[in-house]
Amino acid sequence: MAVVTIQGQIGSGGQEVGLRVANLLNYDYIDRLIFAQAARLLGATVQAIANKELEVRTTKDRIASFIHNLLERSAMAGAGSEPYFGPGIEVLLSKDYYSQNEQDPITTSSELDIKAFVDATTIVIKELAEKNNVVILGRGGNMILGDYPNSLHVDVIAPFERRVQTIMTREHLDETTARNFVENHEAARITFFRKAFDVDPLDSSLY
Q: Which CATH number is 60's domain given? A: 3.40.50.300
Q: Tell me how far apart the alpha carbons of residues 22 and 121 are, in angstroms, rounded to a whole number.
A: 20
Cα-Cα-Cα-Cα torsion 193, 178, 92, 122, nearest 10 degrees, comes to: -30
Measured distance CA(122)–CA(7) in Å, rounded: 15
Instruction: Provide the residue-wise pLDDT of the chain in tens; the chain has 207 residues.
Output: 699 999 999 999 999 999 999 999 999 888 876 666 555 554 544 444 344 334 445 556 666 665 556 555 554 444 444 444 444 555 555 556 555 444 444 344 444 467 777 777 788 888 888 888 999 998 899 999 999 999 999 999 999 999 999 999 999 999 999 999 999 888 888 888 888 899 999 999 999
Q: Count structural domains, the chain.
A: 1
Closest CA to 37 of 90, 92, 96, 95: 90
Rounded Cα gap, residues 138 and 156, in angstroms: 11
Rounded to whole angstroms, the Cα distance separating 181 from 171 reads 10
Cis peptide bond prior to 149, omega within 30° of 0: no
Domain extent at residue 173: 3-206
